[in-house]
Amino acid sequence: MSYPSFLWKKTLRECADTEEKIPENVLADLMLAGDMKNDTMNYFRKPCSAEEIPQRQGLFRILLSDDGFREKLKNIAEQLSELHRITGAFERSEHPTEQVMLFLPSLGHYLTLARMFAELKEYEGRAGEVGRYFAELCEEETFRKAEEDCGQMMKNRRSELLYTVRGNEVTASEGGEMLRDKLERFFGEMGIPEAIPNRKALLRSNDSTAAAYAGVYYGFHAATEQFYHKYVGIFLEGERDFRLTSSYSGEIGFLLDASDYFIRLREAGFPLTYPAVSSNREVVLNGIVDASLAKRELRGEDVVPNDLLMASEYREEKLAFYIVTGANGGGKTTFIRACGLAVLFFLAGCPVTAVSARIWPFEAIYTHFPANESFENSGRFVNEANRAEEIIEKTNENTFVLFNETYSGTDEQKSEHYSRRLADTMYERGVFGMFVTHIHSLTGSRIPTLAAVIDETDENRRTYKIKRVGATTSSFAEDILEKYRLDRNSLKKRLEGERHAGT
């Protein structure tokens, strides 16, 4: 068996084929881009399976609660970085003599790394599985013999040739004395100082310098060559090729960077929970808040929480897809972004900013938010329509999709036609998602409606609460007019009263 992955129930080799099913624009639309490193973001584009989600959640539970575990991963990350600097020089080298000599420190760093990984065997989940793999490896006779031989070779390094790798430069030294000084004295005594290239050339090794090193230190070179041929077939070929461990750098980087992000959210007062993997096709979010609001330096307790119930079938209703409408500035976009982030985080095995949650393991997420580019009206509509069509073609009952003011870049009649077609298509396919729109004629139909409501006592005050409603009217103007008895019926009654009073 090859090296097991931290993140998936696969080997590192198999993980190379993991598909990025979530488009890059989703991260930008949900305002996640910029909160973590670009390399970390790529892992959010590769959703976990139903079986992998709780395992990944287990890793984040430990990372957010155990400083000792975080420190172990950081130390492993540093060792990986050092190992791959040396193996990088080994792979770039075109000189067999140099490769032979670089193999020794490369294998030495790898053997140390294996022992560090083995310390994780006591942890639960994928961390424990990785740790147990390396613990078993460290107990193998071949590994223990390699440790013994490598330790003996490195023990005498102060009197032998040692390569040091700094970035893309490789230099050689003997103890505290630079090898160049040694070679200059050696060739000077022989009367052929010109055999040494100029000092600048020695920054990178070449055929002549590698041969010179081997000639001056023929005993050491013979020993390292023997060591190389003894172990290269074990540790540089097949399933145990230690160069494969480079993938651990990305996985550990994701775990550390993402956990730092969630620790910052927790410190800012945002709730964190680990959603249950639902066996039913549903999204149930209680007390959900938008994690992206932390960018505005808002405290979690100051953000208005909301709830969401989505289900393919709930009390004889189909609640998978919603129309979302309501007062301007009422929190519609914030709400769908909060829900989208919850599903995205869940599929990456991360905590979500809610009090509790149950979510179906979707295959992919798609979003359609207004583009920032400048368009003429016709150009904007064509762009929006094309992007929407691409999403429509990809959606099915196992996808989660968010449309935000789609088709707004055209006249009202055309916008209503396309919006109705989109909403009907999503509803009939059983796609999970929401469609934010100001076209209130779409509400009150078979597709359920959510609305951002205003304060009943003050029409200028937004509550930022999202509730299930029936049909709505444009920007809730009728509700406001009715409140102040300025609606059609109230005015009619007033006029009739005045007429009777005048007779």
Average pLDDT, the chain: 85
In terms of Cα–Cα distance, which of 86, 77, 78 is closest to 106? 86
399-417 burial, b if ≥16 CB within 10 A, otherwise e? bbbbbbbbbbbbeeeebbe
Name the more confident of 179 and 260.
Answer: 260
Judge whether residue 66 has pLDDT over 90: yes
Q: How far, CA to CA in Å, does 109 sit from each of 202, 243, 251, 358?
A: 25, 12, 19, 44
Confidence of residue 499 (pLDDT cuts 50, 70, 90): low
- List, in order of start, the domains of the chain with CATH numbers: 65-240 (no CATH), 269-472 (3.40.50.300)
Per DSSP, 281 falls in state S
CA distance 221 to 102: 11
pLDDT tens-digit readout, 270-297:
999 999 999 999 999 999 999 999 999 9
pLDDT category, 216, cuts 50, 70, 90? low
**Least confident piece of the model among 157-166, 211-220, 443-452, 465-474:** 157-166
